[in-house]
Structure 1
Amino acid sequence: MRPLHVISATLLCFTASLALAESPEQAIRSSLKAIQPDLEIQTFVASPLPGIHEAHLSGGRVLYFSDDGRHMLQGYLFDFKDGKAVNLTEQIKNRAVAKELNAVPVSDMVVFSPEKPKTHITVFTDPDCGFCQKLHEEVPALNKAGIEVRYMAFPRQGAGSAAYNTLVSVWCADDRRSAMNKAKSREALAPANCENPVDEQLALGEVFGIQGTPAIVLADGTMISGYRPAAELAKIALSVK
C-alpha cells in the first residue's frame, strides 16, 4: 500500500495541473488571438453538441470550436426535431441583428409610419438602386397594412460615391422624408452636410454581411435580401412573433 502522504502529494499535483490547464474559452480565445488579435468575441457559450463551443461575433456571426481550440467550423448547425430542421445558427444571428438594430436610435433613421404600427421593418437602402425605388413606391401600401418602414443608409459604392452624398443630403435635410421621396424619384437634392449617421449605418450593414440593396430586416432580425412586392412582404412581416 502506498503511503498516505505520497497519495496526497499525487492528488495535489493532479489538481494543480487541472488548475493550470486552459478552459475551453481560454483555449479558443488563444487560438483566435494568434490568427486575428482584434477579433472580438461578444458571447461565448457551449453549443448543443457535446465538446463544441460557440463564439458569437458582432453582426450575429457564429464560429464553432472544439473544446481544445484546435478545430473550428463555420456554417449552419441544425436541430432535427419533430420532423423539422431548425437552423440554430440562423436563430442566433437573427437575435443578434435585432439586438444591434434596436440599439440604433430611431431618430437616426428615416421613418415612414402609420398612426398605429403593428410591426416594423428596417431597410438598408441606396437611392440609385432600381429595386429600392420600386420598394419605396410601395411604402404607402406597407403603411396601410400596419408596417412601419425604417430606412438606414447603405450606399453600395461606399463613402464619397454619388449615392453616399445623396444620402448625406437626405439625412441633413430639414424634412428627411420629403428628401427621401425626392431621392427615390431621382430628383435633384440641394447638397447638405451635417453630423450624420451614414458612415455608421454603412459600417453596420457591412458587419451584417449586406452586399446588395434593398436589404430588409424584419422585427425579429430575419434578413430578406432583395425586393419583395408589398403584399408578400407585409404577410411575412406581420407573421413575425
Structure 2
Amino acid sequence: MNIKSLVVVLGVFASLLGAASVSAGEVEDRIAQSLTKAVPGLKVMSVRKSEAKGLYEVQSNNGDTIYATEDGQYLMTGDLLKVTEQGIANVTEVARADARKATMTEFGDDGVISFPAKNEKAVVSVFTDIDCPYCRKLHDEVPQLNEYGITVNYYAFPRSGPNTASFRKYESVWCAGNQQAAMDAAKAGRKVDEANCENPVQEQYQLGGRVGVTGTPAIVLEDGNMVRGYVPAKRLAEGLGLL
C-alpha cells in the first residue's frame, strides 16, 4: 500500500471513530433527556455505560444511582451486584463513592468547623446536626478520634432544614468567635449566643443532599465511601486501618 492510499484509509478510519463517539454521546443525551422529562425536578449529573452490558449508569443530583436501557424507556433502581471470584461486589456503591469523592473534592473544605489531629493520619468529613443525639455521642469521642490521628471536619446538615431553630443554631455556632468552643457547648446542650454573619450552612446542607446524606451523623471517608450513623471511635479507627 502506498502512502497516499494509507492516508485515505486512516482518514476513513478516523471518520468512523468520530461517528461512533457522536453516536455514543447521542445515546447518553437521549437517556438524560428522557429521564428529565419523565421525572420533574430530576437533574441528571452524568450518564455512562455500566459494567453490565446494555445498561447505562445515571447519577442524579440527589445522589441516587439509576440504571437505564439504551433507549431510555426502561429504568432500574437499587444496587447492581457483580459475581466475582472473591464473592459479591457492589458495583453501584463503588460508583456512588467515586461520585461522592469527586463532589466533595470540588466543594472543598473551606468553611468546615475542624477538629484537627496533631499527628494526622486520616481525615473524615462528618455531616452533623447539633441537636441529633448520636451526633452528640460522636462529638464526645472527637478527642479520642484526634488521638488516633483522625481529623474531624464538620459539615452542616441540620435535619429540620432552613428557617428552623436547629438551622439557626448551627449558623450561630459557625459565626461564633471560637467555633470549636461554640460547637462543644452546643453539642453538650448548652446555650450558644445567637450570632449572624455570612455563612456556608445552606451550601453545606445542600451538599449533603447531593452526596446522599439522609440522616446524621453521616461520615464521608477520603475514598468517598460513607458510614451512615454513629460508629465508636475505636471501630472507626480500626476500619481506617489505624489500629
**TM-score, length-scaled by structure 2:** 0.83
Moved more, 207-216 or 37-46: 37-46
- Residue 39 of structure 2 is matched in structure 1 by 36
Is 1:102 matched with 2:105? yes
Whether the 8 Å CA contact 2:36–2:44 is kept in 1: the answer is no
Q: 1:104 to 1:34 in 2, by over 3 A?
A: closer
Is 1:47 matched up with 2:66? no
- Which residue does 2:94 correspond to in 1? 91
SS at 1:190 equivalent: coil
Superposition map of 1:40-189 within 5 A: 40-58=43-61, 60-189=63-192
Moved over 4 A (4+): none
**Matched-pair identity in %:** 38
Whether the 8 Å contact between 1:120 and 1:148 is mirrored in structure 2 is yes
Alpha-carbon distance in structure 2 between the residues aligned to 1:107 and 1:32: 34
Q: Does 1:232 align with 2:235?
A: yes
What is the deviation of 1:217? Answer: 1.3
The RMSD of aligned alpha carbons is 2.2
Q: Amino acid of the residue matched to residue 28 of structure 2?
A: E
AA in 2 matched with 1:94: A
1:214 is aligned to: 217
1:58 shift after superposition: 3.1
Aligned partners of 2:110 and 2:29: how far apart in 1?
40
CA distance in 2 between partners of 1:107 and 1:30 (Å): 34
Q: Secondary structure at the match of 1:106?
A: coil
The count of corresponding residues between Structure 1 and Structure 2 is 221
Shift of 1:103: 2.3
Amino acid at match of 1:96: A
Cα separation, 2, equivalents of 1:40 and 1:116: 41
Shift of residue 38, structure 1, vs aligned partner: 5.0
* Structure 1 residues 48-72: Cα deviation after superposition (integer angstroms, max 9, x where no partner): 2222112222354221111111111
How far apart are residue 37 of structure 1 and its match?
Answer: 5.9
Paired letter, 1:66: T
3-state DSSP of counterpart to 2:240: helix
1: CA distance between counterparts of 2:67 and 2:214?
24
Instruction: Tell me if structure 2 keeps the 8 A contact 1:121–1:237.
Output: no
Structure 2 residue runs without a partner (length 5+): 1-19
